Structure 1
């Protein structure tokens, strides 16, 4: 079905197409028509950071920032869904246009800027959902919160999301919030993660423990990865997501190629996988890794697993391939060996 819908969607600007796709999925889910949209893959169980996943292929954050479409997305066959990034207070994000397709490169550039309705709206939406699968909630800071107080924003979101999330992702790697990536600096990260880990353990003491993951950038030098790995091992964090979008435009040309924002899609695959492999080597298998960035075919999902990931996530590849990419990735991972 997606092959028929794609030309219509690509006739729209990228952000309008994004909204139209989610609306159509919601209609299909409510009308019991999802069997015509996607065929969920057979189970391929994976156990990572204390959670049992029905398969290792998940949805990356960014597609459903407010948790408005969890039920429809859950019906596509993902092994887990990550919603957000969400901030304490609602914010509009950057001015439109702020999302651009680069079809010749199977890529997307976005500078959305954490546009979302705020943590309270997300909590309400999750509460109304009937989805009972693995749900990650990706948290960030408001753009007008200075970095010296950023931990307060993350702590508030962590506390509010805690009862509803299967796991929490801390996003300090988006290039679209000024200064956010500065939180990845080794000494800043040590203090920042230390405070959030204290909050995590305090919340865990009142009930079930929830894993906390850190999402990092692909634009990190070896020395930066060395320092980050040292901090993560010392902190006791549960997992790492490698990676967010890139600010690099190497090998990219044509219309929209020099738009500001984070680049995702096929051109990101090599750099994100290099960071994944490097972090796996540095962490020595002691912290689980989720591989995301540039997956447009099943073989690339399997390559992320071979590089050290326990799980993978999709986003921009879905723009170009549609929901069939989910099953293709699961089956190729299955063919090359169950990651569990």
Structure 2
């Protein structure tokens, strides 16, 4: 019941300023041991996915903690896993501010951050310092390409990142679906995706031999795909033995927010208006994959009911980010409880 009051303060600020202060606030709560006051008790719901043991099926999506600086604080809220990034080989400032916009009437956000991050070395130092990770917590690392790397050489950036993060990651998420890096979504197309997945899989095999451990690869895709593209991606994921798919990233569509303040801003739309489309992609993938690899469902989760719907549609795990902004830490416990109840029912 405390979060609506806190949110009112944060929503009086510029969205990106509020983001920075909010993370600092979560860090302070965790340091004082008060994080559970906001989140509540999170139901245990263990599940083995990608060869990893998750204590519950509710995760934090990439984008909130780009540099992995707040892993322990966020984990204290009860998330079953934390995904950090997107990280690029070199630090980059991202797009000019303002670049983050709320549409509170529809519980939505538009962002055009542009993979702003401090680079892979800084992220790795933060992950190494995380008590959550050292204690066996699941930390996914989301990787991307630098904005000035030509799209023809994008695979090189992904391979550099994969090489660097492999020993530190519980799993690696390959982000080819952000709408905020020029031409990035071209990598989702037939031949480009096949070539990228082949190189990533070969690198994963080599790194598993070098490090003596297998770190799963997950591909993060866009919601703005035709049915035939979803089928093609599913076929390529199976062919190249990728370990999971994350569905979905933000959308360039504006359905559900037309005419509202900030709806004309360029960037990816997330939050409540994305729920139906992202869940439809989960359903399409579930049918196309027929259980051959797990799906992580993300997009528009604003309640426990939404989280359970992703699981019912075919996801094994869920993630959220925008729902966390609008609903606060209590959404973690609510989502975990709703999903756990599916098994009991």
Query: Any residues of structure 2 matched to 1:14-29 within 5 Å, and which?
Result: 14-29=15-30
Q: 1:330 aligns with which of 311, 318, 336?
A: 336
Query: Any residues of structure 2 matched to 1:14-163 within 5 Å, and which?
Result: 14-132=15-133, 133-163=137-167
Q: 1:313 aligns with which of 313, 319, 322?
A: 319
Q: What secondary structure does 2:242 align onto?
A: coil
For 1:148 and 1:214, the matched residues in 2 are separated by: 19
Q: 1:306 to 1:89 in 2, by over 3 A?
A: same
Which deviations, in whole Å up to 9, do the C-alpha atoms of 1:116-171 show, x marking residues without a partner? 00000001111111113100000000000011111111111111111111000000
Note the aligned Cα RMSD (angstroms): 1.1
For 2:275 and 2:37, the matched residues in 1 are separated by: 30
Q: What secondary structure does 1:205 align onto?
A: helix
Which deviations, in whole Å up to 9, do the C-alpha atoms of 1:230-249 show, x marking residues without a partner? 11110000000000000000
Q: TM-score, normalised by structure 2?
A: 0.97
For 2:129 and 2:338, the matched residues in 1 are separated by: 34
- Do 2:43 and 2:340's aligned partners in 1 also have CA atoms closer than 8 Å? no
Which deviations, in whole Å up to 9, do the C-alpha atoms of 1:189-234 show, x marking residues without a partner? 0001100100001011121100000000000001211211111110
For 1:38 and 1:222, the matched residues in 2 are separated by: 38
2:205 alignment counterpart: 201
Q: Does 1:166 align with 2:167?
A: no
For 2:44 and 2:216, the matched residues in 1 are separated by: 23
- Do 1:44 and 1:338's aligned partners in 2 also have CA atoms closer than 8 Å? no
- Do 1:92 and 1:116's aligned partners in 2 also have CA atoms closer than 8 Å? yes
For 2:129 and 2:235, the matched residues in 1 are separated by: 40
Q: What secondary structure does 2:109 align onto?
A: strand
Q: TM-score, normalised by structure 1?
A: 0.98
Which deviations, in whole Å up to 9, do the C-alpha atoms of 1:65-119 show, x marking residues without a partner? 0001011001000000000000000000000000000000000000000000000
Which deviations, in whole Å up to 9, do the C-alpha atoms of 1:52-73 show, x marking residues without a partner? 1000000000000000101100
Deviation at 1:338, TM superposition (A): 6.4
Which deviations, in whole Å up to 9, do the C-alpha atoms of 1:6-27 show, x marking residues without a partner? 1100000111110010001111
Point out where structure 1 has 5 or more consecutive residues left out of the alignment.
Answer: none
- Do 2:106 and 2:256's aligned partners in 1 also have CA atoms closer than 8 Å? no
- Do 2:218 and 2:242's aligned partners in 1 also have CA atoms closer than 8 Å? yes
- Do 1:58 and 1:311's aligned partners in 2 also have CA atoms closer than 8 Å? yes
2:254 alignment counterpart: 249
Q: What secondary structure does 2:39 align onto?
A: coil
1:190 alignment counterpart: 194
Q: What secondary structure does 1:213 align onto?
A: strand
2:215 alignment counterpart: 210
